[in-house]
Amino acid sequence: MEITRKEVKIPDFFKPALKTVSCVASLEGVLAETNQVIEILKKEKEELAKSNIRVETNLQPELTEKITEAESRRKGLMRIQQLGHLPVLSLDFLSWRNDEGWPAVAILNLDCAYMQFGVYCYKQEIKERLKKLFSNEKHFDYTYSYRIEPSYPDIIKKHFHDIEIKLRELAAEEKQNVSIKTSCQGLVPSHVRETIAQSFELFPGSIYLIAQVEKWKLSYTEPLSGTCPLVGGFDGEKFWILDRFDLTTVEQFIQNHFTAKRG
């Protein structure tokens, strides 16, 4: 499905993360050449499969790798061809922090309306044979596990390593579960839903809502408020900004609907 061409204006807050994507000159020619390379490599792989010569058959893994690389390059070229008019964000914004040291931006996938970082404490009484080393009072051992929800690719998660360290320190200090969470509360406009539907094929399972978070609260859900979320398609290295919108409450949606009808 072809994505409708339109201009997407980036909020000033995100402009430092804008990335220039170098458009390949004579894109059609490069695509045609890449397709030809893939075809040649696949034919050669088919011929090798019929060969009984050991030296040749050992080249199969290398040929497979070359085909994968060429297909990945073709996919990237096709993405530029379709999305070259859209702004692109590098992953730099994932490392931005607010004054409290928490992420300045949240990214939410379409299947989950929240983003949460948590360290969870597991309390276990020290085994009987070790109790003898202590008094008759109960003593406990504490272990901690860290989790980001929902699930994200490793290239995204690594930008939040400092958040894990900070939460682990707080959990160890309090010996309690510690988490920060923010959620998206509002309606997505119909034209943005259409853009998302058009983008599924290019970014399967990798479309996110990207929004500035003014404040996180420990162990509480802090709604996204006063922000204009972006819709970004993640290609494994960067975000292509497909659209942006204002979150609309249900009440505001109803009011807008009847105002438009009266107009």
Q: Residue ranges per domain, the chain?
A: 12-16+87-262, 22-83
Average pLDDT over residues 212-217: 84
Q: Which residues pair with 118 in a beta bridge?
A: 147, 179
Here the tokens at position 126 are 């020290």
**Residues near 161 by beta carbon (within 8 Å), at least 6 away in sequence:** none
CB 218 within 8 A of CB 178: yes
Where does the pLDDT of residue 221 fall: very low under 50, low under 70, confident under 90, or very high at 90 and above?
very low
What percentage of the chain carries pLDDT values higher than 90?
Answer: 23
Q: Count other C-beta atoms under 10 Å from residue 28's C-beta.
A: 10
End-to-end CA distance of the chain: 34
pLDDT at 108 over 70: yes
Reference 186, options 134, 231, 252; nearest CA is 252
CB 77 within 8 A of CB 27: yes
Phi-psi region of 236 (alpha: psi -120 to 50; beta: other; left: phi over 0): left
Where does the pLDDT of residue 209 fall: very low under 50, low under 70, confident under 90, or very high at 90 and above?
very high
> Would you state the pLDDT for residue 56?
63
Q: Which residues pair with 88 in a beta bridge?
A: 240
Rounded to two decimals, the pTM is 0.68
CB 227 within 8 A of CB 214: yes
Cis peptide before 223 (omega within 30 of 0): no
> Would you state the pLDDT for residue 21?
67
pLDDT at 222 over 70: no
State how beta strands 207-212 and 221-223 pair: unpaired
